[in-house]
Structure 1
Amino acid sequence: MISAVVTGNVWSTRRVDGLPSGAFLELEIPATGARMIAFDVLGVGLGEHVLVAQGSVASHWFTGPPPPVDALIIGSIDAGSTGSAPGSEGGPPG
């Protein structure tokens, strides 16, 4: 899994048939500065810290024939032990 920050939306007026409801989001990986596009079914927002699964794990999450998705946002990070998430005090939320 990858920890990343949502930096923007990717607008798509046409999609491949069979792609479920969701949004394409641009992400940045803070540790490297690398950018990627991931599919979001959770409805996360700009600036949120997220967890991303890639490859067959991401595409096989969907029911039916797997869509051509190789990066999927699977969680929103509320707080981390390193204090890197917004509002984190270095421990679990109280």
Structure 2
Amino acid sequence: MIMGKVIGNIWATRKEETLNGLKFLVVKPLDYGKESNAPAFIAIDVVGAGVGETVIVTKGSSARKVMGKGDIPVDASIVGIIDMVEVEKTYLD
């Protein structure tokens, strides 16, 4: 799983039929130990997250299982909204 920050929304009126009704968000991965240069990616939202929230994302085949459909063309799903993160200072260096 990946921890990330929701940085935007995506609207697509024309898309693959199995994606109709899904909410798409732009997520920037977070790494509390160092500066993250990982690129932002698109994830479907199944928990009601919004811009500015810190989220938990699952990727790959697990992302499709969240929807209960193995044939949906999705490779990232937001599965949780993080309330708080606590990291030991010794692990940040």
> Into which bin does the TM-score normalised by the smaller protein fall?
0.7 to 0.9
Aligned length: 83
For 1:27, the equivalent position in structure 2 comes to 27
CA shift, 1:33, in A, is: 3.4
CA distance in 2, matches of 1:41, 1:64: 13
- Which letter maps to 2:60? G
Q: CA RMSD in A?
A: 1.8
For 2:59, the equivalent position in structure 1 comes to 54
Counterpart contact for 1:60–1:66, Cα < 8 Å:
no
* Residue 72 (structure 2) aligned to one of 60, 67, 79: 67
CA shift, 1:24, in A, is: 0.9
Moved over 2 A (4+): 19-22, 63-66
CA shift, 1:22, in A, is: 2.3
**TM-score after normalising by structure 2:** 0.78
CA distance in 2, matches of 1:73, 1:14: 22
**TM-score after normalising by structure 1:** 0.77
Higher mean C-alpha displacement, 26-35 vs 68-77:
26-35
Quickly say closer, same or farther: Cα 1:65–1:82, change in 2 above 3 A: closer
Which structure has more helix as a fraction of its residues?
Answer: 2
Higher mean C-alpha displacement, 47-56 vs 16-25:
16-25
SS at match of 1:6: strand
Identity of aligned residues (%): 40
CA shift, 1:62, in A, is: 1.9
